[in-house]
Structure 1
Amino acid sequence: MFQNICAITFDHDLFTQAIHPKEPIVSVGLSSGHVQTYRLPAGASDNSDADETLASENGFGHIETAWKTRRHKGSCRALAFGVDGVQLFSAGTDGVVKVADVTNGNVTAKIAIPDDPAADSIDAPCLVHALSPQTLLLGTDSSALHLYDLRALGPKARPTPQQTHHPHDDYLSSLTPLPPSAESTSGFSKQWVSTGGTTLAVTDLRRGVMVRSEDQEEELLSSAIVTGLSKKGTSVGEKVVVGGGNGVLTLWERGVWDDQDERIVVDKSPGGGESLDSLALFPSGVGPGGKVVAVGLGNGTLRFVKIGQNKVIGELFHDELEKEGVIGLGFDVTGRMVSGGGRTVKVWCEKDPEVGDDDEDVADAMTGAKRSHGSDDDDSDEVMEDSSEEEKPTQKRKKRKRGKGKQQKGHGILGFSGLD
């Protein structure tokens, strides 16, 4: 179904990745606090004599390092592009969200994450999402969900949350906006589904937390929305798919949030299935047709599930040797799949049906030589203190989020006169 055309490797563990909404750009956040941005090839090339060290949609073209920097003390936990792709938001265990220009990485604004009042310490972020040009959502380990007005950002501004909700008893493991209604004048979502611990919740921009599901008695880790499904009976043709910690994908009918509607077993490993750490819906025109969801597992496997038939239709390995979990998964603007886990991000293009297995094996073997950039320790565009201890991710997302050690209180970085 897909063939791997390049692999970008790092000197530190990958914690998060973000894919640009309009350009072939991928940004990554690492356990060292580095944020790095790469520009992928624009698309297919007719140059069949290109060098092996290049990579693109058909195996040719450059991967460019747009910029890289040590952005946070401690780990960079979450990344998100703005809806127009102009800004990149990064959130770190130093208790700071930084807003950067995507083209050069220069910081244009900062947000201090409120401390965890129960622990009297930094409330480390677990999720950041730009809902619209006006609203930024920020989830933390204490289960807080802060809403910020992006219009209040600026070089000297010190924005505070406009609203704070607690849709779950545990940290937010995923957030998926619900498509706006036909009556929407803005065209942007005003409601979203989140998962945290063993529950699913729906929150409204104006009304707050509207509903929380029953306890599912299994950890819910990832989510995605599937639209355009068959409308039968009371079905509205839209379902939220949720990846669980036991290898099962659950389907939730939009508007019926108290309990799951269907279950699809993605992994049947002995002793309990592997965790389903990340999900991404195939874009239109990619794959075998129909509604297909890519699933990243905790053992480094990628599996593909066709919704409607509700069965696994394919499998690949992001990391067959180290078996690091696939914590990042998505598709770029050209339809290429991007998977991230361990110390590697891989880019995949659809396999030519006329290409045999031998050709695919050659492509896989070449991936380590296709980088056209240096390591993440080569430069730094800002002076930062070294963290005393680097956070270590594990296969299970919850363990990775919680295994961070005590953070010191305060946001001293915000006291600098000027921005880095």
Structure 2
Amino acid sequence: MGKKKSNSSNAAQLLESSTAPILEINYQDPLFTVAAHPTKPILISGLATGHVICNSYDAEKLEETSKAKRDEIIQLETQAYELGKLPHVNKSVSQSKKKWWKIIKDDQEEEDSLFVGNWKTKRHKGSCRHAIFDPLESSVGEFVYTVGTDNIIKKAATETGKVVGKHNVVKDYPNSKDSITKLCHSTSHPFLLAGTENGHILIYDSKNLGTGGLKYKVSQAHDDAINHIMAMPTVSAYHYLSLGSTTLAHIDIRKGIITQSDDQEDELLSMCYASDHITENGNDTVLVGHGEGIITIWKNSKNKFQDQLSRIKVNKNASIDVICPTMNVDESDLVDSVWCGDSEGLLHRVNYKRGKVVETRVHSSGNKGKYGGVDEVGILDIDYDYRLISAGMDSLKIWSNRENEEEDVSEDDEDSSSDSDSDSGSSSDSGSGFDSDEELEEESEKEEGDDDEGEEDKEEEEEEESEEEVEVPTLIRRKRTNISEIISKPKRKTIDINKLTPSEQPEPTDEPTTTPKKVKEKKLTTKQLRNMQKHEHGIRKFEGL
């Protein structure tokens, strides 16, 4: 007997975006870390074997070839649908049997120059645990820092891969059996931070990595392994946030812990700033991913990061292993959103101001992982052109940053005006017809109607459509029917909602058309009106009823 799909899988299909990858890289050995160059199409990959790989990709050509192949597939499926050979034209990226994006197997260089290997080296004994690019403005992206289970931090030139500095951190451990888990670099000063499995944070001078030695040390910032370290550039070059076990800590690398949060009774796995709080607004708003599948919102201005202020449910069946900002401050919806990846192989775009998931993408589904399971999303990054990069231990995907125009391929032109505001990047709200965020928030505060009244309204919709002889080829088309146009035109027949229930007065049958003013209609209750609005997604409100 087949395994029943989880609720999260069903929800992912409903919210799935039509945005597809432009590049997929499958790795022969487990992938542990990925870093995207801040200004160039360059990727650094760290493997469980200790190898570090540097690749370049032609993003624009990948976008063009991917779009051309997708258009070709949609055209063929549309023709097959018109001939009755297919039940529908597939719009889902995850459910598609044909992949139109570039797929690289075993990290091999391609002859078409769309994916090029710059260099590959055995950098660490054991595994490579973490890799980051140099974020300093004077040398942004020129160097890459890596650390492995061999307890050696290495600094190498991005262009050549040549090591220019290294430091063995074993002598800096209080316990020699400790190990580095995470790296972080200041955006303004040569401070390189390393978090350990025992909860310590070690700080080095990145310009003198080989000779400088330990510069600062914060002991026992957490009771367990450091899961994340994040700089606070608008506060101070010496101030950082760290996650470990079930707490969030605000530290000064010179003085130690400033504040440590209350015990959250759930492991805190990842964190990031909102996009408009990275380099401004005092690094005030922080979003944290939890082991129980939620995101919590923290504000320094409210309670000094002492406790979470609110929470957003994302996926109760999975942990939120990684989270990152969209980095796009030009679009209002994206500036208020963050990306997060979970242990079920799903990617979620969460609008934290609206408190909901607004878009989902499928990094891995079913038993597609190399070892028979889902490729859990443990790595997220944003490339130089705001493309999302997602990775698990088996594969890496670079997602398109272009909007898709194939959404309405099977719809008539007459509906194009009502759908002009819909977008592939907001699939959870597709067809909702909300004119503004304020209306959406107002709608979300209303109570849900009874199921029996919902069925009654559904019958009313079908009755209205049959009277008006509107051709409805698909279920999606029925949802997009504009009731306001039917009601507002006086030349058409008005449908009385009371005829759906027994009435003492017989319905007049000799009058083919009546104007709305002459028909004595019973006023709709608030609950009935709300249900009509709920089941007809294309209409926000009915005026005059």
TM-score w.r.t. structure 1 length?
Answer: 0.74
Match of 1:398 in 2: none
- The structure having more radius of gyration, on CA atoms, is 2
1:116: how far off? Answer: 7.8
Distance 1:219 1:116 in 2: 27
How many residues of Structure 1 are paired with residues of Structure 2 in the alignment? 337
1:236: how far off? Answer: 7.5
Where in structure 2 are the equivalents of 1:12-411 lying within 5 Å? 12-43=29-60, 62-83=114-135, 84-115=140-171, 119-121=175-177, 123-132=178-187, 133-153=189-209, 157-165=210-218, 166-181=220-235, 189-226=237-274, 228=276, 238-255=284-301, 256=303, 257-269=305-317, 274-284=318-328, 285=330, 288-320=333-365, 321-322=368-369, 323-356=374-407
Question: What secondary structure is seen at the aligned counterpart in 2 of 1:350?
Answer: coil
C-alpha contact 2:21 2:101 (8 A) present in aligned 1: no
Does residue 1:8 correspond to 2:63, yes or no? no
Cα separation, partners in 2 of 1:61 and 1:119, compared to 1, 3 Å:
same
Paired AA for residue 213 in structure 2: T
| RMSD over aligned Cα atoms | 2.9
Higher helix share: 2
Distance 2:130 2:63 in 1: 37
Paired AA for residue 175 in structure 1: I
Cα separation, partners in 2 of 1:357 and 1:138, compared to 1, 3 Å:
farther
1:267: how far off? Answer: 0.6
Cα separation, partners in 2 of 1:149 and 1:316, compared to 1, 3 Å:
same
Cα separation, partners in 2 of 1:71 and 1:286, compared to 1, 3 Å:
farther
Fraction of identical pairs, as percent: 30
Any stretches of 5+ residues in structure 2 without a counterpart?
Answer: 1-16, 70-99, 104-111, 410-545
The Cα offsets for residues 206-254 of structure 1, whole Å up to 9 and x where unpaired, read as 333211111110000000011548xxxxx98931000000101010012
C-alpha contact 2:170 2:176 (8 A) present in aligned 1: no
Question: What secondary structure is seen at the aligned counterpart in 2 of 1:162?
Answer: strand
Question: What secondary structure is seen at the aligned counterpart in 1 of 2:234?
Answer: coil
C-alpha contact 1:286 1:350 (8 A) present in aligned 2: no
Distance 1:246 1:147 in 2: 31
Distance 1:81 1:357 in 2: 41
Question: What secondary structure is seen at the aligned counterpart in 2 of 1:151?
Answer: helix
Cα separation, partners in 2 of 1:119 and 1:175, compared to 1, 3 Å:
closer
Question: What secondary structure is seen at the aligned counterpart in 2 of 1:305?
Answer: strand
Any stretches of 5+ residues in structure 1 without a counterpart?
Answer: 230-234, 359-420
The Cα offsets for residues 340-372 of structure 1, whole Å up to 9 and x where unpaired, read as 1022111001353313499xxxxxxxxxxxxxx
TM-score w.r.t. structure 2 length?
Answer: 0.57
Structure with larger RCO (C-alpha < 8 A, sep 6+): 1
Distance 1:326 1:259 in 2: 27
Higher strand share: 1
Distance 2:385 2:165 in 1: 30
